[in-house]
Amino acid sequence: MAKVIESISEWNEIYNREIKGKKSLGFVPTMGALHKGHISLIKRSVKENDITVCSIFVNPTQFNDKNDLKNYPITLDADSILLENEGCDYIFLPTKEMIYPDNYRYIVTETTFSKTLCGAHREGHFDGVLTVVLKLLNIVRCNNAYFGEKDWQQYNLIKDMAKALFLDCNIIPCLLIREPDGLAYSSRNTLLTPENRLKAPQLYRVISSNKPLDVMKEDLRNLGFRVDYLEEVEGRILVAAYLGNVRLIDNVQR
């Protein structure tokens, strides 16, 4: 049975008594509202480590839109059942006060790549992401941390941060997981209206079309998407686009 951890001191006691120097530890940080994409990370961690811990924390510092934070789905009971079924050993549930005792005075900032793509359209977003991930990695002290490639920019920023700051853990990428109709799994998919949920898989189909970028953008606009960005980076097409009030991201290898 997965044990719920609600304080850093409780985790420190367990870590020092049962894990440190004895067992390999895998970590999956999440904001909850778990779906098959998250579960694929849990499965890999369970397979590759003696112990797996998953954190659930809706991190307020990475939301540049207060309404987005307010509307973020909270499904803790369902999440706990999913984690239990997948063999997760510990569920870490920190609070804002626990993670930010300094009231977010100290911030991790990356000065180049984080200012592009999602970072160009969501001021302060990656500062919040990198800061919370660094804090969680320092608290958990895992051997391996798992991140999905749907958030390709985020994964690369975290990987580079770990290298730059000499963190003693492996940042492991996991393949993007799609729903049967091609839509990338996301906690925000549940916020789509029924009509837009039917339309959303067109995002993947368009960026997989191998057309010029400007043609892809026009195709998306004609389908009713509001394009935030659509760019090619290192041979990968990355896109963020709105359907209604829901912002979707996706990427494919060119």
Report the CATH number at residue 219.
Answer: 3.30.1300.10
d(CA 176, CA 143): 22
Q: Which of 35, 38, 121, 125 is catalytic?
A: 38
Specify whether the CB–CB gap between 144 and 45 falls below 8 A.
yes
Say if residue 85 is in the same domain as residue 133: yes
pLDDT of 65 reads 86
The last residue of a domain, from among 146, 174, 202: 174
Q: What is the mean pLDDT of each run of 10 residues along the chain (254 residues)?
A: 96 98 98 96 98 98 91 94 97 98 98 97 95 98 98 98 98 97 95 97 97 98 98 97 96 94
Q: Which domain holds residue 42?
A: 3-174
The last residue of a domain, from among 174, 198, 220: 174
Say if residue 126 is in the same domain as residue 12: yes
β pairing state of 246-253 and 236-243: antiparallel
Say if residue 44 is in the same domain as residue 145: yes
Catalytic: 121?
A: no
d(CA 45, CA 69): 28
pLDDT of 66 reads 87
Specify whether the CB–CB gap between 99 and 132 falls below 8 A.
yes
Give the chain's domain count.
2
pLDDT of 121 reads 86
Say if residue 60 is in the same domain as residue 112: yes
Say if residue 221 is in the same domain as residue 95: no
- Tell me whether residue 153 is in a domain: yes
d(CA 138, CA 162): 11
Residues pairing with 145 in the sheet = 27, 171
Say if residue 193 is in the same domain as residue 163: no
Say if residue 162 is in the same domain as residue 211: no
The last residue of a domain, from among 174, 195, 217: 174
- Tell me whether residue 180 is in a domain: no
pLDDT of 111 reads 97
Identify the residue whose tokens are 């049975």.
1
Say if residue 161 is in the same domain as residue 131: yes
Say if residue 77 is in the same domain as residue 195: no
pTM over 0.75, yes/no: yes
